[in-house]
Amino acid sequence: MLEHYYALIMAGGGGTRLWPLSRTDRPKQMLKLLGEHSMFELAVDRLKLLFPPERILVVTSAAYAGQLRAQRPELPEENFILEPEPRNTAPAIGLAAVSIHRRDPEATMACVTADHFIGNERRFRDLLVAGAEIAAQDYLVTLGIQPTFASTGYGYIQRGEALGQAGDFPFFRAVRFKEKPREPEAEAMLADGLHSWNSGMFVWRVERVLQEFARLMPDLRQVLAEIEAAPEALEKVWGRAPRQSIDYGIMEGAAAAGAVAVIPAEGLNWSDIGTWDALLAVLPPDAAGNVVVGAEHLAIDSSGLLIHASRSQPRLVATIGLSDLVVIDTPDALLVCPRERVQEVRAVVDALKKGRTEYL
């Protein structure tokens, strides 16, 4: 079965939540957040033990394609599927699905993210294998993450009846998708033991998901059919693709029909690294209790710091008497902020929009 298994890396996202490192033309997936390799490079590399390069595809916007290709030139050029413009995840995944379907009508595809941290890569590959096994039973499979705190930043998936076991992983019928909740609801979902975080990663047979596109998003399915019939029509018809997320456009409706399975994955050491303090949560601290990436840190009476300096030249950062701060150093901009206020990076970005757009 695995010879018909394809991986699709969704690498079209933008965003500047990790400013000053992330910029408009250099979103999170391109960044060397963890040191030597970019998030995209890590996403490719963790798939390589399971998928040959010919079956690793990337969907991204035309604007990012050049940089991403340069980061992993071993992927065939035709495996980069380019959205003429970003129209959210449902059209992007649909476009990739028809592209894979043209190559291999029997294909199963895993849709994975390009910009998330996954600490336990071996378990991640086991999870993808389990996902393919469940997808073979015609479920749309969503990879859930066992919640470790009452996050209000993630979406949640509620599980219903147990459906079986695939490898190490029990799986369940998914009965409800819940977008970012308020805190009381997040607390309740954490406490009831019935919810997983929505990782935004999915596995399904391509023919099966295209059936759901036809049922739930017929306008998009029509656009995709035109592209499948005549790929050169892409630019012309793309503007008719509805701007919609895969969760809202497909998964919710499919779950209502009982067609979605969720694997509540534990032990992945997963994070979407939505804000700088997430690196403090997932990376091991050094002997002084600080997380240091890309810099030499001279710490005097300092702990709980994130020091991040992905620079081409050597960089020494000396701190005296500091705790629980993030220091993010880039060639043209520096951010210093208490770790509990990293959400306010958004306010910095908003301020820059009013006249300092060269730093965005």
The only residue of 70, 73, 161, 313 in contact with a copy of itself, by rule CB under 8 A: 313
Q: How far is the CB of 45 from a copy of itself (least distance, A)?
A: 31
Using CB under 8 A as the binding rule, whether residue 232 contacts a copy of itself is answered as no
Using CB under 8 A as the binding rule, whether residue 319 contacts a copy of itself is answered as yes
The only residue of 29, 298, 310, 353 in contact with a copy of itself, by rule CB under 8 A: 298
Using CB under 8 A as the binding rule, whether residue 274 contacts a copy of itself is answered as no
**Which residue(s) pair with 145 in the sheet?**
197, 265
Please, are residues 264 and 144 in contact by the beta-carbon 8 Å criterion? yes
Question: Among residues 235 and 301, whose Cβ is nearest to a copy of itself?
Answer: 301
β-strand pairing of 260-265 with 291-293: unpaired
Using CB under 8 A as the binding rule, whether residue 78 contacts a copy of itself is answered as no
The only residue of 318, 324, 353, 357 in contact with a copy of itself, by rule CB under 8 A: 318
Helix pair angle (39-47, 62-71), 10° resolution: 60
**Which residue(s) pair with 323 in the sheet?**
303
Which among 58, 83, 85 has a CA at the least distance from the CA of 71? 58
Question: Among residues 284 and 321, whose Cβ is nearest to a copy of itself?
Answer: 321
Residue the block writes with tokens 């916007």: 61
Which among 24, 37, 42 has a CA at the least distance from the CA of 293? 37
Please, are residues 148 and 235 in contact by the beta-carbon 8 Å criterion? no
Helix (H) or strand (E) holding 195: strand 195-205
Using CB under 8 A as the binding rule, whether residue 278 contacts a copy of itself is answered as no
Using CB under 8 A as the binding rule, whether residue 229 contacts a copy of itself is answered as no
* CB within 8 Å of 127: residues ≥ 6 apart: 143, 169, 263, 265, 268
Using CB under 8 A as the binding rule, whether residue 359 contacts a copy of itself is answered as yes
Number of CB atoms found within 10 A of residue 71's CB: 17
Residue range at the interface with a copy of itself (CB under 8 A); choices 51-59, 242-250, 279-287, 312-320: 312-320
Residue range at the interface with a copy of itself (CB under 8 A); choices 111-119, 157-165, 216-224, 316-324: 316-324
**Which residue(s) pair with 303 in the sheet?**
323
| Of residues 337-356, those binding a copy of itself (CB under 8 A) | 337-338, 341, 344-345, 347-348, 351-352, 356
# residues contacting a copy of itself (CB under 8 A): 35
Report the interface residues with a copy of itself, using CB under 8 A: 20, 296, 298, 300, 309, 313-322, 325, 327, 329, 331-338, 341, 344-345, 347-348, 351-352, 356, 359
